[in-house]
C-alpha cells in the first residue's frame, strides 16, 4: 500500500514541483550589480573625439518641397494602421529593455497608428535559420536584423528590399541633413555591389586591440605600436618577461592572443590599406600585398612565440598579464571590464588601440548592427521605414547606444551622449577610431569565404612560411568558386 | 576445528583479488568524478562573479547567490519554465499514447505490409534531424494554414511532431512482442479485446520501458532549442533552453548567470530521474541499450 502511494506520489510531486517553480512569485531581491567603473583610458596620442565627421551625403538627398504646403503633405503610400514585426537578437538585459522601451515609445507616439511588435529570435544564427525558413513559407518579418552578408543573400532572393526609394520618399524619407549626418562607412556597409541599399545601420561596434598600456610602460614602451616592427617588439618583450619571471605557469604567454579568424585578418588588412577585393571590386584578391603582409606578420609572430591561442575569450589572460594585446569587438568591453574585477586580476591601466599597418597605417573593422526591410507589401514596408527612421533618429539612437554600448552611426547622435561619454571613458575613447573604420564585404559569398579565410590562416600558422603563397592562391580559387555558387 | 591462526589465513584475500578490487574501485571513482565534475563546475560557476567565472578558478572566492535571482529575472525564467512544463507534459502524454498504440499494432496485430512499414519506420531514424528541419517547418506551416488552429508560435508545432517517436515505438514493440500469446488467448476467452488486453495486461508489464520513454522524452523536450526557436517568434511558447541561450551575447557570455539558469533548469530532470531511476536502469539493462 505504501509502495503504491509512493508510486502515485512521485508524478504528482514532480508536476507540483514544476508548477510551483514556474508559478513562483517574482523574485524581489537584489537587482543586477551595477557595472563597475572602467579603467581610465591611458594618455595616448589618439584624439578623444572623431575628427572627421562625414562631409558628403552618402546617398542622393531627398527632394525638398520648395513651398510650404497648407497642410502636411500625404505620403504616396499610406502606412496608417499597419502592424510591423521586428525580428532582432537583443533578447536579454539592458539592450532588450532599451529596445522594447523604444518600440513602446514609438507605438505610443507615432502619428500613423503603426504598431511595432519586437520579437527576439535568439542569436544571429537562430535568426538566420528562422528567416531562411520564412523565405520558404513567405511569412516574412517586416524588419529583421542580421549580418550584412546574410542580408545580401536575402536581397538576392528578393526576401528583403532596396531601401533607397523608402529612404528618399519626399514626405517620409530622410532629409539632406540626415543623410549628411550618417558616417559614410556605415551606409556603404549596407550596399550591394550594384549600389542598392539593402541594409540600414542602426548602430555599430568595432574590432579593436585591447592594449595593456601600464605593463607596456613597465616593459619600456611609452606609446602603443604603430607598425609591425613595433608591435612585434612589444609582444616579444612581454613574452620574454613572462618566460623569465618566477612563475612557470605563464611561460609562453604575454604577447598577442591570436585567433586567425576572418574578422581579425580583415582588421589587419584594412590597416595596410587593403580590402581583400580586386581592383574593380568584382571578386576577392588574397594575393594582394596587403594580405600577404598580414600572413607573413602572423606567421612571424607565431613562430617567434610572441603570439599564442586560447580556447575561449581571452579576457582573463588580458587581465592577468598573460597578454599584452588581445583582439576584441567593442561589444566585448563589459566582459573585459568584469575580468579585471576577478580576485586574481592585476589592476593595470589599459586602453583600446587601432590595428597597426605594416608601415604605419591604422584601422578598425566595423561591425554594423544592420536591419533590412522584408519584401511584404508597400504599406507595411512604408510603415516599417517610418519606424526605422525613428529608430535611427539622433535622440532615439542615443537611447539605444546608452542601453547597448554600441557606437552611433550618425555624428549628430553624439550631442545626446554627453553623460554616457563621461561615465564610460574607454567607450568614449573608442569613438575616435570610427574614422579609421572599414567594413567586411557585404557580399552573399562572404558567408562561406570568411570561413575559408579562417581555415587558410590557421593552416598558415601551422605550416611553413614557404606555404603562404600557395595557400593564399588556393584561397583565391575557393573564393572565386564561392562567388559563382552564390550567383547561380 | 581450525586454529585461530588457520582461520586468519583463510580470511585473508589473495593479493590479486585485492588488486583487482582496488583497480575496480579506482576506475569507478574516476568515472564518478568525471560524471560529477560538470555538475560541480556548473554549481561553482553559478556562484561566482562574472569576472571570476571567465577565468579558470574552480572554487568561488566570494559566493554570489544573487546570480540565481538575476538569472531568473534577466531571462524571464518564470514564463519559460511554465512553457517548458506544459510543452513537456503535452508531448509526453501524446508520445506515450501514440507510441503505445503503434507499438502494440506492430507487435501483436498481423496486417498486410506490417514488417515493411516497421522497417521503413526504422530507417527514418538514420536521417539526421537537421536535414528534415526545414521540410518539417514547411509542413507545420501548411497545417496551420489549412487547419482551425495556428501551428506556428503555438503549442501544436512544439508538441504534435514529437508525439510519434520511432525510437519509442521500436522500444515498446520489442517489449510487447515478448508478452506470451497464451496471455492474449486467455484474455480473449474472458472477452477482452486488444485495447483491454493492452491496458490491463501489457502496459502493467511494461513499466520499465515506459519509464525510459518518459525520462528520455522529458529530457529531449525540456532541452529542445533549435526547433522551438524556428517555430516560435515570441516568448508566448518558448521553452527554458531559449532563456539560457539569451545569456550568450555577441562578444561574450554571462557565464555565471547562464550556469545559474542551467542549474535551475536541470532541477526538474533530476527530480524525475530520482523517482524513476530504478525502472530506468532495469529497462536499460534488460534491453541492452547501454550507451
Number of helical H runs and strand E runs in chain A: 19, 11
CB contact under 8 A, A22 and B82: yes
Q: Which residue has the cell 609562453?
A: A252
Kindly tell me if the per-residue pLDDT of A8 is higher than 60: no
Q: Which residues share a beta bridge with A370? A: A146, A201
Residue B9 pLDDT class (50, 70, 90 cuts): low
Q: What is the ipTM of this complex?
A: 0.75
CB contact A32 to B (< 8 Å): yes
* Contact indicator for B183, B201 with CB cutoff of 8 Å: yes
pLDDT of the residue at A401: 94
CB contact A241 to B (< 8 Å): no
Residues within 8 A of A (CB atoms), B 265-284 only: 267-268, 271-272, 275-276
pLDDT of the residue at A409: 93
pLDDT per position as a tens digit, A297-352: 999 999 999 999 988 889 999 999 999 999 999 888 889 999 999 888 999 999 99
CB contact under 8 A, A122 and B230: no
Alpha-carbon gap, residue A411 to A53, rounded angstroms: 6
Kindly tell me if the per-residue pLDDT of B15 is higher than 50: yes
pLDDT of the residue at B279: 74
Q: Which residue has the cell 508559478?
A: A23
Local structure of A303: helix, strand or coil: helix
CB contact under 8 A, B51 and A341: yes
Nearest to residue A434, comparing CAs of A403, A409, A400? Answer: A409
Smallest Cβ distance to B54: which of A126, A315, A343?
A: A315
Enumerate residues 6+ apart whose C-beta is below 8 A from A356: A225, A226, A227, A228, A230, A231, A271, A362
CB contact under 8 A, B81 and A18: yes
* Contact indicator for B69, B78 with CB cutoff of 8 Å: no
Round the CA-based radius of gyration of chain A to a whole number and report it. 25
Question: What is the average pLDDT across B11-30?
Answer: 89
Residue A4 pLDDT class (50, 70, 90 cuts): low
pLDDT of the residue at A45: 32
CB contact A220 to B (< 8 Å): no
Kindly tell me if the per-residue pLDDT of A20 is higher than 80: no
Q: Which residues of B touch A338 (CB under 8 A)?
A: 49-51, 54
Q: Which residue of A has its CA nearest to B137?
A: A133
pLDDT of the residue at A146: 92
CB contact under 8 A, A14 and B268: yes
CB contact A3 to B (< 8 Å): no
Comparing A33-37, A136-140, A178-182, B201-205, which segment has the lowest mean pLDDT?
A: A33-37
Enumerate residues 6+ apart whose C-beta is below 8 A from A381: A77, A142, A161, A166, A373, A374, A375
How many contacts (CB atoms, under 8 Å) link A and B? 147
Question: What is the average pLDDT across B132-147?
Answer: 91
How far is CA B44 from its chain centroid? 25
Higher pLDDT, A51 or A190: A190
Smallest Cβ distance to B54: which of A129, A141, A339?
A: A339
Residues within 8 A of B (CB atoms), A 86-125 only: 87, 89, 91-93, 117, 119-124
Closest Cα in chain B, distance from residue A331 (Å): 6
Q: Which residue of A has its CA nearest to B55?
A: A316
Residue A31 pLDDT class (50, 70, 90 cuts): very low
Smallest Cβ distance to B69: which of A30, A85, A330?
A: A30
Phi and psi of A372, rounded to 5°? -130, 155
* Contact indicator for A169, A388 with CB cutoff of 8 Å: no
Closest Cα in chain B, distance from residue A204 (Å): 12
DSSP character at residue A251 = T
pLDDT per position as a tens digit, B265-288: 999 988 988 888 777 777 666 655
Chain mean pLDDT for chain A: 85
Residues within 8 A of A (CB atoms), B 114-143 only: 134, 137-138, 141
Q: Which residues of A touch B245 (CB under 8 A)?
A: 122-123, 126
Nearest to residue A330, comparing CAs of A230, A203, A224? Answer: A203
Residue B76's region, left for phi above 0, alpha for psi from -120 to 50, else beta, is left
pLDDT of the residue at A47: 31
Smallest Cβ distance to B230: which of A22, A133, A334?
A: A133
Alpha-carbon gap, residue A356 to A256, rounded angstroms: 13
Q: Which residues of B touch A27 (CB under 8 A)?
A: 69, 72-73
pLDDT of the residue at A67: 56
Residue A32 pLDDT class (50, 70, 90 cuts): very low
Q: Which three cell numbers stand for residue B88?
A: 513537456
Q: Which residue of A has its CA nearest to B274?
A: A10
CB contact A316 to B (< 8 Å): yes
Kindly tell me if the per-residue pLDDT of B8 is higher than 50: yes
Q: Which residues of B touch A341 (CB under 8 A)?
A: 49-52
Residues within 8 A of A (CB atoms), B 60-79 only: 61-62, 66, 69-70, 72-75, 78
Q: Which residue of A has its CA nearest to B59?
A: A343
Q: Which residue of B has its CA nearest to A329?
A: B251
Q: Which residue has the cell 499597419?
A: A82
Question: What is the average pLDDT across B123-149?
Answer: 90
pLDDT per position as a tens digit, B29-77: 999 999 999 999 999 999 999 999 988 889 999 899 999 999 998 888 8
CB contact under 8 A, B251 and A331: yes
Question: What is the average pLDDT across B151-174?
Answer: 93
Enumerate residues 6+ apart whose C-beta is below 8 A from A108: none
Alpha-carbon gap, residue B284 to A317, rounded angstroms: 45
pLDDT per position as a tens digit, A197-231: 999 999 999 999 999 999 999 999 999 999 999 99
CB contact under 8 A, A30 and B235: no
Q: Which residue of A has its CA nearest to B258?
A: A92
Smallest Cβ distance to B275: which of A10, A32, A338?
A: A10
Residue B10 pLDDT class (50, 70, 90 cuts): low
Alpha-carbon gap, residue A412 to A174, rounded angstroms: 14
pLDDT of the residue at B60: 92
Local structure of A144: helix, strand or coil: strand
Question: What is the average pLDDT across B142-160?
Answer: 92
CB contact under 8 A, A343 and B52: yes
CB contact under 8 A, A29 and B69: yes
CA atoms within 13 A on the CB side of A391: 26
Kindly tell me if the per-residue pLDDT of B91 is higher than 50: yes
CA atoms within 13 A on the CB side of B89: 13
Residue A38 pLDDT class (50, 70, 90 cuts): very low
pLDDT of the residue at A270: 96
Closest Cα in chain A, distance from residue B211 (Å): 11
Chain mean pLDDT for chain B: 88
Q: Which residues of B touch A126 (CB under 8 A)?
A: 226, 229-230, 245
Alpha-carbon gap, residue A142 to A75, rounded angstroms: 19
Kindly tell me if the per-residue pLDDT of A44 is higher than 50: no
pLDDT per position as a tens digit, A124-168: 888 998 999 999 888 899 999 999 989 999 998 999 999 999 999
pTM: 0.78
Q: Which three cell numbers stand for residue A412?
A: 549628430
Residue B6 pLDDT class (50, 70, 90 cuts): low
Which of B47, B51, B136, B207 has the highest number of chain A CBs within 10 A, making it the mutation to test binding with A?
B51
How far is CA A368 from its chain centroid? 5
Residue B253 pLDDT class (50, 70, 90 cuts): confident
Share of chain A above pLDDT 70, in %: 85
Local structure of B161: helix, strand or coil: helix
Closest Cα in chain A, distance from residue B186 (Å): 27
pLDDT per position as a tens digit, A395-423: 999 999 999 989 999 999 999 999 999 99
CB contact under 8 A, A92 and B75: yes
pLDDT of the residue at B172: 93
CB contact under 8 A, A343 and B61: yes
Comparing A189-193, A448-452, B192-196, which segment has the lowest mean pLDDT?
A: A189-193
Higher pLDDT, B243 or A238: A238
Q: Which residue of B has its CA nearest to A128?
A: B230
Closest Cα in chain A, distance from residue B13 (Å): 40
Please, where are the H alpha helices in A245-288?
262-271
Amino acid at each position: 500500500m505504501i509502495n503504491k502511494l509512493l508510486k502515485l506520489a512521485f508524478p504528482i510531486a514532480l508536476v507540483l514541483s514544476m508548477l510551483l517553480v514556474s508559478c513562483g512569485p517574482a523574485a524581489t531581491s537584489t537587482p543586477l550589480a551595477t557595472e563597475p567603473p572602467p579603467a581610465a583610458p591611458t594618455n595616448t596620442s589618439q584624439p578623444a573625439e572623431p575628427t572627421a565627421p562625414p562631409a558628403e551625403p552618402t546617398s542622393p538627398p531627398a527632394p525638398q518641397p520648395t513651398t510650404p504646403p497648407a497642410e502636411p503633405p500625404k505620403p504616396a503610400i499610406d502606412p496608417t494602421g499597419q502592424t510591423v514585426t521586428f525580428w532582432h537578437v537583443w533578447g536579454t538585459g539592458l539592450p532588450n529593455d532599451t529596445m522594447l522601451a523604444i518600440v513602446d515609445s514609438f507605438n505610443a507616439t507615432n502619428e500613423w497608428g503603426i504598431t511595432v511588435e519586437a520579437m527576439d529570435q535568439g542569436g544571429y544564427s537562430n535568426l538566420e535559420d528562422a528567416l531562411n525558413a520564412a523565405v520558404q513559407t513567405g511569412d516574412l518579418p517586416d524588419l529583421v536584423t542580421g549580418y550584412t552578408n546574410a542580408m545580401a543573400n536575402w536581397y538576392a532572393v528578393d526576401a528583403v528590399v532596396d531601401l533607397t526609394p523608402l529612404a528618399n520618399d519626399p514626405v517620409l524619407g530622410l532629409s539632406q541633413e540626415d543623410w549628411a549626418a550618417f558616417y559614410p562607412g556605415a551606409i556603404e556597409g549596407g550596399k550591394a555591389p550594384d549600389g542598392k541599399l539593402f541594409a540600414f545601420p542602426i548602430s555599430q561596434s568595432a574590432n579593436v586591440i585591447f592594449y595593456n598600456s601600464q605593463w607596456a610602460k613597465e616593459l619600456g614602451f611609452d606609446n602603443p605600436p604603430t607598425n609591425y616592427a613595433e608591435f612585434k617588439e612589444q609582444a616579444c618583450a612581454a613574452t620574454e618577461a613572462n618566460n623569465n619571471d618566477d612563475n612557470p605557469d605563464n611561460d609562453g604567454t604575454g604577447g598577442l592572443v591570436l585567433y586567425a579568424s576572418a574578422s581579425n585578418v580583415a582588421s589587419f588588412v584594412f590597416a595596410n590599406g587593403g580590402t581583400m577585393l580586386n581592383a574593380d571590386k568584382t571578386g576577392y584578391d588574397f594575393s594582394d600585398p596587403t594580405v600577404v603582409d598580414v600572413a607573413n606578420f602572423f606567421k612571424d609572430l607565431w613562430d617567434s612565440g610572441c603570439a599564442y591561442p586560447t580556447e575561449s575569450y581571452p579576457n582573463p589572460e588580458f587581465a592577468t598579464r598573460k597578454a599584452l594585446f588581445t583582439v576584441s569587438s567593442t561589444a566585448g568591453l563589459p566582459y573585459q571590464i568584469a575580468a579585471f574585477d576577478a580576485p586574481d586580476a592585476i589592476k593595470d591601466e589599459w586602453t583600446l588601440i587601432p590595428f597597426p599597418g605594416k608601415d604605419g597605417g591604422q584601422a578598425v573593422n566595423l561591425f554594423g548592427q544592420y536591419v533590412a526591410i522584408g519584401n511584404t507589401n508597400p504599406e507595411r514596408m512604408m510603415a516599417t521605414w517610418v519606424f526605422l527612421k525613428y529608430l535611427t533618429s539622433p535622440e532615439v539612437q542615443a537611447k539605444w547606444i546608452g542601453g547597448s554600448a554600441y557606437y552611433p552611426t550618425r555624428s549628430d547622435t553624439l550631442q545626446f551622449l554627453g553623460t554616457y561619454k563621461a561615465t564610460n571613458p574607454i567607450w568614449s575613447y573608442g569613438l575616435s577610431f570610427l574614422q579609421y573604420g572599414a567594413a567586411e564585404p557585404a557580399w552573399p559569398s562572404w558567408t562561406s569565404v570568411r570561413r575559408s579565410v579562417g581555415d587558410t590562416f590557421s593552416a598558415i600558422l601551422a605550416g611553413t612560411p614557404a606555404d603562404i603563397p600557395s595557400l593564399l592562391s588556393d584561397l583565391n580559387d575557393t573564393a572565386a568558386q564561392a562567388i559563382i555558387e552564390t550567383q547561380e | 576445528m581450525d586454529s585461530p591462526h588457520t582461520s586468519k589465513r583463510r580470511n585473508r584475500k589473495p593479493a590479486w583479488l585485492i588488486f583487482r578490487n582496488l583497480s575496480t574501485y579506482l576506475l569507478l571513482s574516476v568515472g564518478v568524478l568525471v560524471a560529477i565534475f560538470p555538475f560541480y563546475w556548473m554549481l561553482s560557476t553559478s556562484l561566482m562573479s562574472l569576472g571570476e567565472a571567465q577565468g579558470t578558478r574552480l572554487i568561488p572566492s566570494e559566493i554570489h547567490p544573487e546570480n540565481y535571482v538575476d538569472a531568473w529575472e534577466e531571462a524571464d525564467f518564470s514564463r519559460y519554465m511554465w512553457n517548458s512544463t506544459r510543452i513537456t507534459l503535452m508531448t509526453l502524454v501524446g508520445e506515450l499514447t501514440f507510441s503505445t498504440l503503434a507499438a502494440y499494432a506492430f507487435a501483436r496485430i498481423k496486417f498486410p505490409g506490417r514488417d515493411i512499414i516497421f522497417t521503413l519506420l526504422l530507417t527514418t531514424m538514420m536521417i539526421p534531424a537537421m536535414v528534415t528541419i526545414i521540410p518539417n517547418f514547411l509542413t507545420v506551416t501548411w497545417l496551420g494554414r489549412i487547419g482551425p488552429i495556428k501551428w506556428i508560435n503555438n503549442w501544436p508545432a512544439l508538441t504534435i511532431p514529437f508525439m510519434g517517436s520511432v525510437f519509442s515505438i521500436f522500444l515498446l514493440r520489442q517489449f510487447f512482442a515478448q508478452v506470451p500469446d497464451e496471455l492474449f488467448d486467455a484474455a480473449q476467452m474472458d472477452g477482452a479485446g486488444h485495447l483491454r488486453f493492452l491496458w490491463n495486461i501489457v502496459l502493467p508489464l511494461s513499466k520499465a520501458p515506459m519509464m525510459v520513454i518518459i525520462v528520455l522524452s522529458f529530457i529531449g523536450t525540456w532541452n529542445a532549442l533549435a526547433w522551438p526557436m524556428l517555430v516560435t517568434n515570441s516568448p508566448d511558447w518558448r521553452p527554458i533552453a531559449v532563456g539560457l541561450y539569451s545569456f550568450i551575447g555577441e562578444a561574450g557570455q554571462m557565464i555565471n548567470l547562464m550556469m545559474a539558469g542551467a542549474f535551475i533548469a536541470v532541477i526538474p530532470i533530476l527530480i524525475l530521474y530520482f523517482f524513476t531511476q530504478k525502472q530506468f536502469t532495469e529497462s536499460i539493462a534488460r534491453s541492452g541499450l547501454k550507451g
